[in-house]
Every structure is written in C-alpha cells, then in structure tokens.
Structure 1
C-alpha cells in the first residue's frame, strides 16, 4: 500500500490558498476546518500553528465559518491596545532599533544648526519624536525646534501632543499637530509654516506611506515633500510586497514575512500571553492583506527598492548613510546595507523584515 508524507502546516495552508478566494468548494471548506482544528491543538506553543490560524481567520471572513470558532481560542491572548503599543516600542526590536538608528542619524544631519524644522509623517503617539527631542536637548547650538506631527487619528495625536509638551528642552519648542492622512495634507500651508520658521528641514516618515492606497498618490506625496526642499528625508517601511495584486504571490510574501517576525517575538523576554498578544496584533495586518477586498486594503507594503524608485523619479537620491548602522541588534537580527536599493535592512535569517532609507534632494534633478 502506497503511503504519502503528511504535509507541513505551511504546505497544507498553501494548498488551501491556491483555491482562495475564487475557487472555494465544499471540499476546500472541509480542508480549511480540518487544518484549523489541527492548528488549534497546541496553538499557544507553536508559532507556525498560531500564524496559520490567523490566516484561516482572514479566509473565513469571506467563506464563513462552518466549524470551530477560532475567536474563542484567540480571545484569551487579547491584550489592551495601549499595553501592546508599549510592548512594540519597548520590546519589539525592529521598531525600537529603527527609532534609535534614525534619531541618531537625524542628530548628525542637523549638526550645529540653531533652528530646525521636523516634519514627522505618521507621528503616532509621539514616541519616536519624544526620544529625538531628548537627544536634541544635548545640543549646545539649538535655539528653536518646530515639530510638525502628521497623524490621522485624533486619540494618538492628542497623546503625542501631551507627551511632547512635557519634554524639558533648553530650546524653544513649537509642536504643530496636523490631524490628516498625508495624502490629504495642505502642502501649501505646510510650506508657508516652514518659510516662516526659516530653519533647516528634516522629514521623517515611519510606517505611514504604505497606507496610501494608490501609486499615483504615493508619487504625488513624495513629489510634494521634495518640493519642501528638506535637508534629509528618512523612510522606515516593512520590506515586503503586499501591494502585489496576485493573491497567491501576496499570500506567500505575507507568510514569509510574518513567519520570521513571529520567530523574533518568540525570543522576547515576556510571558506567553503578551507574546501571543503581539502575534494577534499583527493578525490585524494579515486580516487586511489576505482577507481585505482589493479596493479597501490599506496594508499595502512595498519592498525598499520600490520606495527608492519613487524617490529617484521625484527628485531624491539615497544616501545609504546611517549612524550606528553596524551595532549588534540582538535576537539574531543583523543590519545589512543593500547597495542595489541604497537602504539599510534589518534582517532575520533570510528575511529582511524592515528597511530604512536616508535620502537627500538631488540638486541635478529637473522637474518637468
């Protein structure tokens, strides 16, 4: 009697995904539920099973549940949003180290300037800018800092304003909150504020531009930012292609990316509930990438070389220059300069999870 090897969890999920979302038969539904039952057995102890459960959760948004409710099993790992956010900033090394590297490089860029303007795109709850302001406070030359924080969500922006207002600085600090998506910002108004302030401009973007749904808008925003003539433009973006329209390829990109992210989470010095709570947090992104309708999806990440292409055609050039880009990041994460794209990637095993780009205005570029 011929026997066949039992497929791995990924192989089984990949077979299901070949039929999703257009060719889901009753047989495929049974396969989905069988795989879910397998993954829920030992869910908390196995990252691959946890990850696969999150993918199945996204699938079931479309095909509907016909068996076990995975929410019951996942609910025990829910952690309050503010606690998750603190975990990401304080414990998740990709976010924490990106902030440190970018902030240290901004310090070098502004040098002995007496008056600087910082536009922070995707300022969130103000954590990165709070840390940057504390570092800038050691400067003997700074007399004035104007910080323009762009963030679409009121609760986060209010928190950022509260945190930043409490920073004790030896220079005059003017925080200007802008509640808006970056593609809806009034750049003429921003330009007028910059002109009035008259300082050296630095633009920082952190995990925000990939939320712009259309490529035309991404190009338009970058061109508008170039028109502000910054001394430097920093981008921090996940290095993965979730803009990919082909579902099967997008699934494979997504699985590879989060499989490696989860392996890093497994090393964090936190308890099991918090560890799996972080994984559940990233499950919201998987919901969007896999379960979201194409027109509604917002987690449309692109690899670094695609962002570099957009920068080049809109008047920027990459510098490939970062402060502290070679130190040990821990958890098996290695910094790696990509000479092809001009970016600094933070790599775990064979996956570059996130990329940092340092760009400056190309003075030889001609706007047509």
Structure 2
C-alpha cells in the first residue's frame, strides 16, 4: 500500500512489501503492531486491523524464535477477542493457518505433571521457599493442618511430606485440605482429587506419616467464600487440639475477582458466611480477612510478579507482553523444538494470553497483581511479614543450580524473595503470620 492510499488520521507508517518485513521483526516493533491491531479492533476498524494482521502473520510464525512465538500467541488472542465481540468479523477469516485458534491443553497424569513442574523454577521456586518457611513455622507441633490453594494440584506436597518425615521430633499427624476449584485452568490433571488424595495418603504412609486428606469443591468467583466457611467450622472444632494451621497459597489467589468487578455478590445471612457484604472491599480483601479470622500459624503467598488488572485492553496487552516474553525465552533453554512437553508448555502460556486479552468479567481469571499490592493487602488484613532467612535462600539457590544460568533469586524489602530471569522479576514468595 502506498502513502497516497493511507488515511492521514491513522498514526501508522507506510506498510512494507514482503521483502521489507525483516525490519519489523524486533520485539518493540511487534509490540507496537499488536497495540495498533488492538486499537483497530476496539474501534471496529476492520480495514486497518486486517492490514496489521497481514504484517503480523508474515513476521510472527508460530514456529519462529521466542519473540515471534510470543507475538503469534497475542495475535491469535486478538483474533479470538474480535470473533467473540463481533467486531471486525472479517478478522477471523483473515487469520493465517499458522495461527490456529484452537488451544489443545494436555491433561497430565500425576507422573507427567510432576516431571513437567520440575522442568523450570517457575513453580519449584515457590515450592522450595514455601516448604522451608512452613517447616520452620510448624516445628514442635504434633498435628499439622495444611490448607492448599494451588493451581498445581498438590505437586508441592510430596516434597513437604518428605521433609516433615525427617523431623528430629518425629513425624506429626498431617491433615491436608485442598481447594478443589471447579473451573478448568491449566495445568489440568487427568484424575479426580479423590484419586489424587489416595495417592498422597499412600505416599505419606510409605514415609511413616498418617495423612488425612479432604477436598472441598470451591470457586474463585465467590472468593472461595463457601470453602472458607466450611474450613472455619472445621477449624473451630479442632482448634482446641493445638494443631498448626498452615495456609499455602500458590498462584491461585490472582484468580479471585478484584475491585473492578464490583458490586459484590449479596450475602443472605452474615452469620453463616465469613464475608460481610461491603461495596468498599474486594473479594480478595475479604478472602484475606477471612483467613486472618482463622488465626493461622503461617500463611505462605507465592504468585507471579506482574500487573494484569487493567480494564484498558492496550494497557493489559503491554503489561502481558512485557511479562510473558519470559516463559517463551526460557523454554528454549530446556525443551527442544517440536517436543510434546514444549507443546504442552507453550499451550499453557497461550491459554493465559488468550484469557488476558480475549475475555472480560468473571471469565478473565488471569488478573495478576504485583508483589507490592499483595503485601499491602496482607497488612491491611491484619498480617505481619515473616523473614525468609538465609537457610531458605540457600535452598532456593541450590534448586536454581539445577536450571539454566539465567535464573536468579534476590531479597527485596522485608525479606521477601523474588525469582528472576535475566534480572527481571518473575515470581515472588512471602510468608505471613497474624499481627
């Protein structure tokens, strides 16, 4: 297209010929192209959106380098958004076959998921830091009740059982209550929580630990209100036994709706629910206050350190693009192209990108908040930070030695730990107790 054909009110340069596409291949330019495409879709400018789509399809193949694969995933998510919203209807038809709209998320066996999680420090960092903090907090307790809010289907628990089994004072009675979320969010497991619980009970028995397993069906959309209520009743009955109550939150709390989804659901009977209705509090705030009401021994909070909460599509796209390049960049260091595990890994990232870009309201569960915001939430809910000492840092560094050289760990204010990739924040780990 030549200059004379381009409308002057569009802040867009002359489109290149196919021979000149190479200059569009750097990450910054790809990000700008995606931003322009998003703006065109939101303003229902089908012509401009299709022109940008043509460029992106030619410079971002799904089997290209990490930046190209990242851009392809965002392009695909924008097409899904356009198809869902009914704007730019021709966009879906313009999609190149290389940007297949179908995401096939693998359902893992327990063995597959355990191996999959071990491929990268993305989850292992949180497991290692949390387990070390938990072990220190429950020292001397003969009964330990662990409440697990985790997207990784208890993959952290076997290592924790191993560590507890080696305690000097001998193994305790271990109780495990799992928030069995009803929504499907990757990674997904190919067996029920009841079957998973049976496997964990058998593993604990092998390590000479008595484990009581319980799963409570729950939902992110109500801020786990029904789960917390059942837990509260259970804990009131058992609190006199002097058991340690451990709340383990691993990359699940960001699925709870935040302030942008007010007004909050009505609560018919405040006596039967730990959440009191308020237009001034988010479900996240109320959830944390409900946890504080349980008077736990320790709360461990691990999540990804990014901000994907903006209601503005372009702001959200920029934030996601400047965070989710990391998993695409790291995958090249440990999985060969074309391997099944790499397909599974990148399908999970694609799912996250689609959820951030193509969905709104309660369907958009990938609402990450940065560490600083969670820290303030925890303080406001009545918690004080616990130090993650040098022993914890040493264990994390030992784990990172098993992975690529680009991974690192740093201590930030108040002794919170942050996993980094090439100096960029990835995941944070914090520990808390009632103030």
**Please, what TM-score do these two structures have when normalized by structure 2?**
0.75
Preserved contact between residue 175 and residue 213 of structure 2 (Cα < 8 Å): yes
1:325 aligns with 2:363: no
Match for residue 222 of structure 1 among 284, 288, 299: 288
What residue in structure 2 maps to residue 205 of structure 1? 249
Deviations 1:147-182 (A, max 9, x none): 111121495523431321221242432111111125
Quote how far apart the aligned CAs of 1:324 are: 2.8
What residue in structure 2 maps to residue 366 of structure 1? none
Distance 1:224 1:336, change over 3 A: same
Preserved contact between residue 142 and residue 173 of structure 2 (Cα < 8 Å): yes
Show the 5 A alignment for 1:1-368: 6-10=23-27, 11-18=29-36, 19-25=39-45, 26-40=47-61, 43-63=62-82, 64-70=91-97, 80-82=106-108, 85-122=113-150, 124-139=152-167, 140-153=169-182, 155-167=191-203, 168=205, 169-181=207-219, 183-197=224-238, 198=241, 199-215=243-259, 216-270=282-336, 272-273=338-339, 274-322=341-389, 323-326=391-394, 327-328=397-398, 329=400, 330-331=403-404, 332-339=406-413, 342-362=415-435
Preserved contact between residue 204 and residue 234 of structure 1 (Cα < 8 Å): yes
Preserved contact between residue 24 and residue 59 of structure 2 (Cα < 8 Å): no
How far, CA to CA, are the matches of 2:382 and 2:257 in structure 1? Answer: 22
Quote how far apart the aligned CAs of 1:333 are: 1.0
| DSSP-derived class of the 1:32 partner | helix
Distance 1:300 1:201, change over 3 A: same
| DSSP-derived class of the 1:99 partner | helix
**Larger Rg over CA atoms:** 2
Deviations 1:161-208 (A, max 9, x none): 132122124243211111112523343431232243320111101111
Preserved contact between residue 123 and residue 150 of structure 1 (Cα < 8 Å): no
How far, CA to CA, are the matches of 2:251 and 2:72 in structure 1? Answer: 25
Deviations 1:24-81 (A, max 9, x none): 42122221132113212xx424111111110000000133323244467687x95733
Distance 1:59 1:336, change over 3 A: same
Distance 1:60 1:314, change over 3 A: same
How far, CA to CA, are the matches of 1:71 and 1:213 in structure 2? Answer: 34
- Unaligned 5+ residue runs, structure 2? 1-13, 83-90, 184-190, 260-281
Preserved contact between residue 201 and residue 232 of structure 1 (Cα < 8 Å): yes
Deviations 1:323-350 (A, max 9, x none): 432415132111111116x521101124
Distance 1:284 1:260, change over 3 A: same
Preserved contact between residue 59 and residue 290 of structure 1 (Cα < 8 Å): yes
- Unaligned 5+ residue runs, structure 1? 363-368
| DSSP-derived class of the 2:147 partner | strand
**Please, what TM-score do these two structures have when normalized by structure 1?**
0.88
What residue in structure 2 maps to residue 365 of structure 1? none
Kindly tell me the number of residue pairs found equivalent between the two proteins.
356
Preserved contact between residue 120 and residue 147 of structure 1 (Cα < 8 Å): yes
